[in-house]
A and B are shown apart, each in its own frame.
Chain A
Amino acid sequence: EVQLVESGGGLVKPGGSLRLSCAASGFPFSSYTIIWVRQAPGKGLEWVSSISSSSSYMGYADSVKGRFTISRDNSKNSVYLQMNSLRAEDTAVYFCARRRGNSGNYDSWGQGTLVTVSS
C-alpha cells in the first residue's frame, strides 16, 4: 500500500524555523517526484515546492522562495521541507504528494501536518 506520512509540524514564533518530513512507503520512492502543498485556514490549496526523483529539479512558489528549501534522502525514503524565516502567513496544513507520470497526476497524498506561526 502506498503511504505518505508528514511530520514535524507544530507551533513556532515568527522568524523561527521548522523542518517538515514526508516519509514514504509501499512504492519505489527513488523513482518519483514529490511535491509539498499547503492550505492556510479558510484558504485554498497552494503549491509550495517540488523535487524530482534524483533531486536534479526543484521548484518553489514565489511566496516561499529564499526561505524554504526542499531536499530528499532516497536511502531513507523521505523528503524534507526546511522552513526558515517563518511568517504568520505560513500557517497552514502542509501536505506531501507523489507525482505519477506527468500532466497533473498526483495520485497519493499524506494526511497533512499543521504548522502554526504565532507569537
Chain B
Amino acid sequence: AIQLTQSPSSLSASVGDRVTITCRASQAIRHDLGWYQHKPGKAPKLLIYAASTLQTGVPSRFSGSGSGTDFTLTISSLQPEDFATYYCLQDYNYPYTFGQGTKLEIK
C-alpha cells in the first residue's frame, strides 16, 4: 500500500501567517492527490484536487503543488476559520490512503 507521510503532524500559527504542509508518497502517484480540511463533528471538505486544482468556492489563499511523490498545501494568510486538521488523500491505486493529518492550531 502507498504510504502518505504528512509533515508537520501539528503546527501552531497566528492569523495572517503563511503556512505550508507537505505530503510525501512512498511511491510515485502522478497528481492523483487531494487535500481536505476537517473540523470536529463536520464532514471533510475538499480544498484541492489533482494536486493543484482549487475546488470551486474555496478561497484563493489555499494552493497546492507537486506531482510524483512530493506535494504541498499552502495557506497564504491564515484566517480564524482555517484552524482545523488537514489531510492528503491518494487515489492512484487501491488501497487508497490518507496522510496521518496535520492539526493546525492557533498560537
Contacts and interface: CB of A to CB of B under 8 A. Distances in A.
Contact of B89 (A47, A60, A62, A109): A47
B95 interface: yes
B49 A46 contact: no
A33 B3 CA distance: 22
Given A103-B91, A104-B89, A112-B43, A45 B101 contact: yes
A31 to B, nearest CB: 17
Interface residues of B, number: 34
B5 to A, nearest CB: 12
A112 to B, nearest CB: 7
Nearest to B9: A44
Q: What bracket does the count of chain A residues touching chain B fall in?
A: 20 to 34
Nearest first, the 10 closest Cβ-Cβ pairs linking A and B are: A104-B34, A59-B94, A105-B49, A103-B50, A109-B43, A44-B101, A47-B96, A45-B98, A103-B32, A104-B33
Interface of B: 1, 30-36, 38, 42-46, 48-51, 53, 55, 85, 87-91, 94-101
Given A47-B95, A102-B50, 14 more contacts: A45-B87, A46-B98, A47-B98, A59-B96, A103-B34, A103-B53, A104-B32, A104-B35, A106-B36, A106-B46, A109-B44, A109-B45, A111-B43, A112-B43
